[in-house]
Amino acid sequence: MRREHAAPRDGWEKTIEGQGLAYHRAAHPAGLSRPYWDESVHYVFSMDEVEELERQVEELHEMCLHAAAHVVESGRFADFAIPEWAWEDVARSWERRDDHLYARFDLRYDGTGPAKLLEYNADTPTSLVESSVVQWFWLQDVFPGDDQWNSVHERLIDRWRELRLPSGPAHFAFTSADETGEEAMTVAYLQETAEQAGLATVAVAMEDIGWDALNRTFVDTEGRVMRSVFKLYPWEWMLSDEFGRHAVRHSTWIEPLWKVLLSNKALLAVLWELNPGHPNLLPAYLDGPRDLTSFISKPLLGREGASMRIVTPEGVQETAGQYGREGYVHQGFEALPAFEGQRPVLGAWMVADEAAGLGIRETTGYITDDTSSFVPHRIET
C-alpha cells in the first residue's frame, strides 16, 4: 500500500458530475481548498493485499452476524438504546433473516498488518457512487492496464435479483432534508441498479410517505401501496417517529430492521466481548474505558465524526456535535496511519454477505468527518 500522485484529467469536474457525483461541490463545508473528489493522488495496492483484506472483511462480517444473533438470544437490546416496544420486532426481523442489501466497514489499515475495525455502516452507508462508479471510470481513463477492488455495481444488480420482494414496484426513499444532494444521488444510483436487475421502481421522499389507517399500509403521493421500500434513512430515526410502530410491522424495508444491531456502535463492544484479542478488533467497552490509556469515546448513534472524544497520554481532543444522549462506546485508540501527512480510512463494501469493493477517504486529522476527501485506488498488475 502506497500513496502516489497523478495529473488530474482535463475537465474532471464535468466528467464526474456526468457519472453521478453531482454533489461533489456541496459535499464539503465552505472554505476548504481541497476538493471532495481528489484524483491528484491515489493509493496503490498489490493483489495479495486486496485478497487478504477481502478475507478479513468477510470474517468481520461473519463475526458481526454472530454478534447480532447473540444480542437477540440474550435480549441485550437496551445496550443498543433500542426502545423497548421494538425489541420483539427486531428479534423477529433477525429470526426471519429479512433480506439485506449492502454495508460498509470503516477500517484502519497501513499495509503492514491486519486491518482494524473502526465501525460498521450497515444501515445507511454513503460514498457509494464514488466507490462503485466514479473511481472505476477514473481507472479506465488513467490506468487502463491496472485493476481495482470494485465489483460493487455488478454485485448490487445480482443482489436485487436475489431479494424476495413482494409484488408491485419497489419504492426508493430519500430525505428531502439533505441539502448536498448526496443522499438523493445515492438513492437514484441504487434505484438504477434495481432497474437494471429488472425491477419496476418509484422514487419518493421519506417526508412524502403517507399512512393509510383504514388499510393499514404505507402509500406514496399517488396513493400506491408501498409494499417494498429501500430507504436511505436510519432506523433509529424511524423508531423515534410517530409512525415507527407502523414501520416495524408493515412493508418490506431495505435495509431490514435487524440492521439496527449492526449500525449501532454498541456492536464494537459486543464484538470484543465475544472475540477478545481478535487481530481485526480494537478493545471496546460500554461501561467506560476500563484500563485503556488511549481511547476514543463514540456516541452509539453518531454520524460524520461528531460528538467524539479522543483521550491519550498527550491530551484530549473533542469534536462538536449533539449526539450521545443514547450513550457511548469506548474503543481503544490507534491513530490512523499517515501518508504524506494525510490519514486514510478504508471503506470496504459488502453486498449481501460478500466483500465487493473499496473506497478511501482521507483527512489530516484523527477523525474522518465531512472535511475528508475521497481518493481513488488501483491494484498494480
Residue 72 in contact with residue 129, Cβ under 8 Å?
no
Output the pTM of the full model: 0.96
User: Residue 368's pLDDT is what?
Assistant: 83
**Mean of per-residue pLDDT scores for the chain:** 95
Contact 152, 356 (CB under 8 A): yes
Mean predicted confidence (pLDDT) in 97-125: 97
Residue 186 has pLDDT above 90, yes or no: yes
Chain-centre distance for alpha carbon 339 = 24
Lowest mean pLDDT among 26-30, 68-72, 338-342: 26-30
The helix or strand, by DSSP H or E, that contains position 219, with its residue range, turns out to be strand 217-219
Q: Which three cell numbers stand for residue 259?
A: 440492521
Q: CA–CA separation, 115 vs 122, rounded Å?
A: 18
Mean of the pLDDT values across residues 191-214?
Answer: 97
pLDDT interval class at 243 (50, 70, 90) = very high
User: Angle at CA 370, nearest 5°, toward 369 and 374?
Assistant: 90
Does the pLDDT value for residue 143 go beyond 90? yes
Per-domain residue ranges for the chain?
2-264+337-379, 283-332
The pLDDT value given to residue 303 = 80
Higher per-residue confidence, 181 vs 52: 52
pLDDT-derived band at 328, boundaries 50, 70, 90:
very high
Using the predicted structure, report yes or no on whether residue 170 has a pLDDT greater than 90.
yes
**Has residue 149 got a pLDDT over 80?**
yes
Helix or strand holding residue 128 (H, E): helix 128-129
Instruction: Taking residues 169-196, report their average pLDDT.
Output: 94
pLDDT digits (tens, 9 = 90+) for 83-103: 999 999 999 999 999 999 999
Q: Where are the alpha helices (DSSP H) in 224-284?
A: 235-239, 244-247, 266-274
d(CA 168, CA 201): 9
pLDDT confidence of residue 305: 82
Name the pLDDT band for 16 (thresholds 50, 70, 90). very high
> 204: part of which helix (H) or strand (E)?
strand 201-205
Confidence band, pLDDT 50/70/90 cuts, at residue 74: very high
